[in-house]
Structure 1
Amino acid sequence: MPLPAAMLPSEDAPDAENLWVVCLCAEWCGVCRDYRALFDGLAAAHPQARFVWVDVEDEAELAGEVDVDTFPTLLLAADGAARFLGPLLPQAGVLKRLLDNIHEQAPLPAAHEAQALFARITAKHG
């Protein structure tokens, strides 16, 4: 199924070579199951970025102390630093806007758990 134009990278999209997009979901969650196809479509549209799907129950050790209560929860990291960690509306346009502007966002220096989560994920999936 071709991607809608809203999901394709913008001409002015940042270099995604050092970009990680991690979706923290659960298999039992219907919203997560529906979001998976959209997430995989965005991954195909951004092949230079690293997209990782983490089931927080099957890979509980990765989530660590990060409490995931709302699905989907996404972790976005660029240039080795966590830039976003939180729930996201399961719509292509919302994630695409984050991806297009990720390098303009400051790292999350105060969010130790976000950086620690990113370190665990890169150690396992890197």
Structure 2
Amino acid sequence: MHSLTLTTDNRAQIAAQLAGPRWIVACLCAQWCGTCATYRATFEELAARHPDKLFVWVDIEDQADVIGELDIENFPTLLIQQDDNVAFFGTVLPDGGLAHRMVQAQQALSAEELAALSTSTPERRSWQRDSNLRTMLAS
């Protein structure tokens, strides 16, 4: 496997791996969701294409205490962040090519561009406050 699955037993280990200057791509899904079950293989392929990033699979029901009040509108929901800057948070089509291009586009941004985008709209500011996986795991 190229991604990690967040569990109660490995939270501290994953939190430690999230530390430092790295890109994180998390998929927030639910076990009962058929689309999520199908997307899991696509997510693994995406992780294999980006071995320099940390990919984390999060079942929002199994990890409800981590996710808290985070509003997941539909599945799959991707969270892409670099360090503490959440670059993207939202529902995506279950298309590996689209997800790959999204990851590439975010990685192409300079640190200054990413920081500017992080605060550019009320929605993006809410991502920084509510959707930061590092912060959620530290709570």
Give the TM-score category using the shorter length: 0.7 to 0.9
Match for residue 107 of structure 1 among 118, 122, 127: 118
| 1:54 positional shift | 0.2
Map 1:7-26; keep pairs closer than 5 Å: 18-26=22-30
Task: Spell out structure 1 runs of 4+ moving beyond 2 A.
Answer: 103-109
CA distance in 2, matches of 1:92, 1:21: 13
- TM-score normalised by L of structure 2: 0.69
How many pairs were matched up? 106
Q: CA deviation at 1:118?
A: 4.0
**Which digits, 9 at most, give the CA deviation of each residue in 1:29-52, with x for residues without a partner?**
000000000001111121110000
Q: 1:93 corresponds to which residue? A: 97
Identity, in percent, stands at 41
- Structure 1: which 5+ residue stretches go unaligned? 1-16
After TM superposition, list the pairs within 5 Å mapping 1:1-126 onto structure 2: 18-103=22-107, 104=109, 105=114, 106-108=117-119, 110-111=125-126, 112-115=129-132, 117-121=133-137, 123=138
| Residue 80 of structure 1: how far off its partner (Å) | 2.5
Q: For 1:23, what is the secondary structure of its paired residue?
A: strand
Q: Which structure: greater helix fraction?
A: 2
- Stretches of structure 2 that go unaligned for 5 or more consecutive residues are 1-20
